[in-house]
Structure 1
Amino acid sequence: MKKFACVSLIALSLALFGCAEQQQKVKSEDSVEVETQEQKAGTSAVKADVFEDGIDEGKFQQLLASFPATVPNKMATTSVPLTEMLHLLDIVPVGVPTSTNPIPADFDAVTRIGSPMAPDLEVISSLQTELIIGASSLQDSLDKALQGMNLQAAYLPTDSFEDLKLSFKVLGTYFGKEEKMNEVLKNIIEKEQELAKLAQGKELPSVMLVIGTSDDFMVMNDKSYLGSLVQQLGANNIAKSVLKTESTYSAINLEEIVVADPDMIFVLASGDHGANEDKFKQEVAKNSAWTQLSAYKNDKIYMLDYSIFGVTSITNVDTALTTIADYFLE
């Protein structure tokens, strides 16, 4: 009998132990579950804080990978738009390009290294430059100029509105300036969204973009900086939709333009760059076909400020977008 009681007592103890163990297991699993949910919530919170900039991730990673693994102490740039970006990110290069286009005043004391296409190699060498950053559009020329030099080079696109955002993100990320980078990019995106709201439900005009050169006037498609701004705002650029131009800049064919009959014409002309408003008026006077256009009849031909629209500029992009939108929505 005593033996039976002892066995029963042992069995009861084991059962109670097993129950406690099971409860502990359930409790542990519940804790893990709670922790997992908390982790998920935390992850969601982090994701919610990530800034959606709309920049092509593939292009971003590809360009970022083209930079040296080790961030250099001394870097120079041959591009005015990239110089401007470095200034916004509080990064001071050892050399900046020599250009008629404005360089940030804070860089007045920074050494000029020559033209964007053909920088002064002796000056670059004397600055002990470890990396030179140039515009992708001039890569072939720069690569030839830098042949024989023990110097790393990286190239970023600067031709369009999207190029500016992409390249700015690459520079901000590479040099560890994400906070300032996101501040600037958020402001740009907010301006885009604001203007997009204003344009909702409104029929935007068809436009033709003209640029004056030293020889003549040419039509610009969406690959140009001004064209990319028009595209961003959702208007119809006849160079793309009707004329089907492949090149960024194409010769003016007035017969085709009369058929396309744009609602507005934007003219980018500067005396410093070979053409001005008077020269455009002479161009119109030479050919009566201009007077057949709706834009001419309705007084919708606008001369644009070259300092705002002639050079890609991340600092001026807010003003550029707003100015064009004002014409569209007036």
Structure 2
Amino acid sequence: MKSKFSKALVAGLCICVTMGLASCGQSAKTEKKYEKIVATSVATTEILDKLEVDNVVGIPESKIYKISDRYKNAKKIGKPMSPDVEVISSLKPDLVLGPKSLEASLKEKYDSAGLKSEFLDLSSVEGLYDSVTKVGKLLGKEKQAEKLVKEYKDKIAKINERAKGKKKPRVLLLMGVPGSYLAATESSYVGNLVKLAGGENVYGDGNGTDFLKANTEDMLQKKPDVILRASHGLPKQVMEMFKKEFATNDIWKHFDAVKNGRVYDLNNDEFGMSASFKYEDALKTLEKFLFPK
């Protein structure tokens, strides 16, 4: 009787162990839930590329910025500002990644389509690396993320060391669109770059507002040492607009920055609207403008 009981107990334990192992296998399989990923902006594809993530099935269309060849076989899902939700759904992704700046306009659409989405803060270089850490944890790429964050901290430390003891130049940052322009604050991405490079934005952080509509008389009163001109789309057209504006509007000749030849145009490749890994090149460019030798 005891022998039969022992055999039954052993058999029962074997079944439990077998079921447990099967359950573990299912658990492991469940944890690997992001097998098909869609990136809706160039910056999010850059993060995934840096983290060595291969399973990206959808990427945005981009005529200005080049997307890594790692994703050459991924399907185009529309423009970053207006991705095609129907096309995204057809790819049956486990995760859709996009910039937080578009969360308000896109999250409800994704939810309605049954798509899981995560939005990344790409409004600053700091936000970019917070996003690297976030995505690293989501996709099991913690080691790659930690390496990238360490490299970033080392780079910023070197920039701070070079700017140490130098007087911060006052900077007027203009963001142009065809036919108009605004003053960009420290809350914008390009403004964040200026701050990291050692400049002082004449409009500060704008109380959290990225761009302000300010008249030229007010700009003159701010007494900027440097004027930087950037563009939001159609860079050639915008820079031509700036040249015409500065040549025909008499008030600009009263700015010290204009008198001293310290008006600089920022190229659209390094100075986009959201944070990217080209920030290092952008900071080197800004250092030359802000602290000329």
**Secondary structure of the structure 2 residue equivalent to 1:309:** coil
> Are the counterparts in 2 of residues 212 and 276 from structure 1 also a CA contact under 8 Å?
yes
C-alpha distance in structure 2 between counterparts of 1:296 and 1:264, whole Å: 8
Q: What's the counterpart of residue 97 of structure 1? A: 60
**Secondary structure of the structure 1 residue equivalent to 2:140:** coil
Q: What's the counterpart of residue 46 of structure 2? A: 84
C-alpha distance in structure 2 between counterparts of 1:77 and 1:254, whole Å: 40
> Are the counterparts in 2 of residues 117 and 141 from structure 1 also a CA contact under 8 Å?
no
C-alpha distance in structure 1 between counterparts of 2:232 and 2:130, whole Å: 28
Shift of residue 313 of structure 1? 4.2
> Are the counterparts in 1 of residues 179 and 241 from structure 2 also a CA contact under 8 Å?
no
> Structure 2 vs 1, CA of residues 292 and 245 (structure 1 numbering), >3 Å: closer, same or farther?
farther
How many percent of aligned residue pairs carry the same amino acid?
A: 30
Structure 1 runs of 4+ aligned residues shifted over 6 Å read none
> Structure 2 vs 1, CA of residues 148 and 276 (structure 1 numbering), >3 Å: closer, same or farther?
closer
Shift of residue 184 of structure 1? 2.0
Compare 258-267 and 174-183 and name the one that shifted more: 174-183
C-alpha distance in structure 1 between counterparts of 2:182 and 2:89, whole Å: 39
C-alpha distance in structure 1 between counterparts of 2:198 and 2:216, whole Å: 24
> Are the counterparts in 2 of residues 263 and 300 from structure 1 also a CA contact under 8 Å?
yes
C-alpha distance in structure 1 between counterparts of 2:232 and 2:184, whole Å: 16
> Are the counterparts in 2 of residues 131 and 154 from structure 1 also a CA contact under 8 Å?
yes
Gaps of 5+ in 1: 1-67
> Structure 2 vs 1, CA of residues 136 and 69 (structure 1 numbering), >3 Å: closer, same or farther?
farther
C-alpha distance in structure 2 between counterparts of 1:72 and 1:270, whole Å: 33
Which deviations, in whole Å up to 9, do the C-alpha atoms of 1:68-108 show, x marking residues without a partner? 97642111121211111001111121111123342223222
Q: What's the counterpart of residue 269 of structure 2? A: 307
Q: What's the counterpart of residue 94 of structure 2? A: 130
> Are the counterparts in 1 of residues 189 and 275 from structure 2 also a CA contact under 8 Å?
no
Which one-letter code corresponds to 1:300 in the other structure?
Answer: R
Q: What's the counterpart of residue 161 of structure 2? A: 197
Shift of residue 143 of structure 1? 2.1
> Are the counterparts in 1 of residues 177 and 233 from structure 2 also a CA contact under 8 Å?
no
> Are the counterparts in 1 of residues 110 and 116 from structure 2 also a CA contact under 8 Å?
no
> Are the counterparts in 2 of residues 76 and 133 from structure 1 also a CA contact under 8 Å?
yes
Shift of residue 286 of structure 1? 2.9
Q: What's the counterpart of residue 207 of structure 1? A: 171
Compare 279-288 and 217-226 and name the one that shifted more: 279-288
C-alpha distance in structure 2 between counterparts of 1:303 and 1:223, whole Å: 20
C-alpha distance in structure 2 between counterparts of 1:185 and 1:148, whole Å: 35
C-alpha distance in structure 1 between counterparts of 2:208 and 2:35, whole Å: 41
Show the 5 A alignment for 1:103-114.
103-114=67-78
Which one-letter code corresponds to 1:281 in the other structure?
Answer: K
Given the alignment of the two structures, is residue 267 of structure 1 paired with residue 214 of structure 2, yes or no? no
C-alpha distance in structure 2 between counterparts of 1:316 and 1:271, whole Å: 17
Shift of residue 307 of structure 1? 0.6
Given the alignment of the two structures, is residue 162 of structure 1 paired with residue 162 of structure 2, yes or no? no
205, 209, 214: which is aligned to 1:247?
Answer: 209
Q: What's the counterpart of residue 293 of structure 1? A: 255
> Are the counterparts in 2 of residues 214 and 274 from structure 1 also a CA contact under 8 Å?
no
Given the alignment of the two structures, is residue 279 of structure 1 paired with residue 241 of structure 2, yes or no? yes
Compare 249-258 and 216-225 and name the one that shifted more: 249-258
Q: What's the counterpart of residue 60 of structure 1? A: none
C-alpha distance in structure 2 between counterparts of 1:182 and 1:297, whole Å: 46
Equivalences, count: 261
C-alpha distance in structure 2 between counterparts of 1:161 and 1:168, whole Å: 11
Which deviations, in whole Å up to 9, do the C-alpha atoms of 1:97-135 show, x marking residues without a partner? 123342223222211111233322332222221211121
Which deviations, in whole Å up to 9, do the C-alpha atoms of 1:279-308 show, x marking residues without a partner? 111111232111101100000000111110
C-alpha distance in structure 1 between counterparts of 2:31 and 2:184, whole Å: 38
Gaps of 5+ in 2: 1-29
> Are the counterparts in 1 of residues 177 and 238 from structure 2 also a CA contact under 8 Å?
no
Which one-letter code corresponds to 2:159 in the other structure?
Answer: L
Which deviations, in whole Å up to 9, do the C-alpha atoms of 1:2-22 show, x marking residues without a partner? xxxxxxxxxxxxxxxxxxxxx
C-alpha distance in structure 2 between counterparts of 1:223 and 1:295, whole Å: 23
C-alpha distance in structure 1 between counterparts of 2:231 and 2:115, whole Å: 38
Shift of residue 274 of structure 1? 7.4
Q: What's the counterpart of residue 175 of structure 1? A: 139
C-alpha distance in structure 2 between counterparts of 1:142 and 1:270, whole Å: 21
